[in-house]
Amino acid sequence: MSRSRPRSDEETDVFTDAVATMERIGEEASISAEVVEALRHPDACLVASLPVRMHDGHLRHFTAYRCRHDTSRGPAKGGIRYHPDVTLEEVQALSLWMTIKCAVLDLPYGGGKGGVVVDPKELTPMELERLSRAYMRAMADFVGPDVDIPAPDVYTNARIMGWMADEFQTIKRVKAPGVITGKPVGLGGSEGREEATGRGAFHVVQELAKHKGIEPADTRVAIQGFGNAAYHVARLLQETGYRIVAVSDSRGGIYSEDGFDVESIAEIKSRTREVQGVYCKGSVCELVEHDRISNEEILELDVDLLIPAAIEGVIHARNAKRIKAPVVVEVANGPIQGDADPILDERGVLVVPDVLANAGGVTVSYFEWVQNRQGFPWSLAEVRERLEERMVRAFDDVWYVHENEKLSMRSAAYAVALRRLERALESGGTREFFSNNR
């Protein structure tokens, strides 16, 4: 998952950038111009003001969004984020990326996304519950298990999804656990959902290693971010033998050529809310030799694998030439701006795009939705097995196009997705059909 960031005056807004990337790749992949035009426009967006009674008694209003980008292949699917920098443009871009992501994984979904302009760290637990229920009251006629299925995203979690699902069911007077995924397991959530994004990214790295002859023991990894997805991919990579030499959070990062113990960093972060270079044995943690570095510096380290897993737009035309890692795997949404892609391609940097690399979350959300509709929960082992199968199949689909059509991995992933979307949209007829006077 990723966090939004303030945009400078010189930068293109994130939705315009997302559309430009989709249009460019649509032309490369010879996608019908009418299909590309249709995908430039979200199906629908709802903007709402959420009144919330605060702990001290005063009434505060929060701006909220929900966008459905495309539903030609199924109901919309996408998370809800709480962040002070959420904008309509960001939510539109994220919903477009979800459309592409679901098509890459061949899930029967379109793209959706939602958000609330709020810093949730400033709210008490009761205020957070009131806000979450207010969001669902505003969106209850816009979402539903056959229409648009939300899930957790930045600064939202299983408990918040449980509150929202309960509010929807109270309003509609039905039991509809499939209205939201990422719920607590006790409320119909799926085993394995919390680790899904990171585990899916891990499977992508493993498949890439097979194709590129990458040896884990010889691979130094830098990860920008240490949220849920970053932690799980770091943990799994280290267990497989990769050396995690750098991680960061919003305050900055740590670097050691000798590598870190991921579980120790996670343990101390849970106590101090800060990444520190430590080794923990039980509850006792000791500092290990390391350097403090900035989030900008972590991107430019001389490592074998770079994983941006924090915020959008961190790699751009101004720093793309300083990226030294030969492989970048996008675990955040949109960490590489469109203007950086040609620079990285020219320099031979292999980028595994977010619409493939971080699709484990939506895949297990799909599994949860299926389990809710069947009324039959799966075991953790079943979820993990099915996730690996889906991620490997999607990687192979993208790699085949990458190799045979000589496209970048991002272009190949979009080509796979756009061709699936094209088949769906053309089924209803396009200009080519209606202009034929047979």
Between strands 243-249 and 220-224, the pairing is parallel
How much of the chain is in helix, strand and coil states, percent to nearest 5? Answer: 45, 20, 35
- Mention every residue, 6+ apart, whose C-beta is less than 8 A from residue 171: 136, 137, 140
C-alpha of 353 from chain center: 11
416-433 b/e (C-beta count within 10 Å ≥ 16 → b): bbbebbbebbeeeebeee
Q: Which residue has the tokens 């756009």?
A: 418
Instruction: Extract the tokens encoding 411.
Output: 């272009």
Q: Classify residue 144 by its DSSP letter.
A: B
Beta bridge partners of 306: 222, 328
Residue positions annotated with a catalytic role = 113
- Between CA 288 and CA 279 the distance in angstroms is 7
- Say if CB 85 and CB 4 are below 8 A apart: yes
d(CA 183, CA 216): 34
Say how far apart CA 406 and CA 419 lie, in whole Å. Answer: 17
**Are the C-beta atoms of residues 387 and 364 closer than 8 Å to each other?**
yes
CA atoms of 425 and 40, how far apart (whole Å): 13
Cross-strand pairs, 68? 44, 112
Dist. CA 400–CA 206, nearest whole Å: 16
Give the largest CA-CA distance in the chain. Answer: 79
Residues found in the chain: 438
- The DSSP bridge partners found for residue 152 are 80
Nearest by Cα to 314 from 301, 325, 330: 330
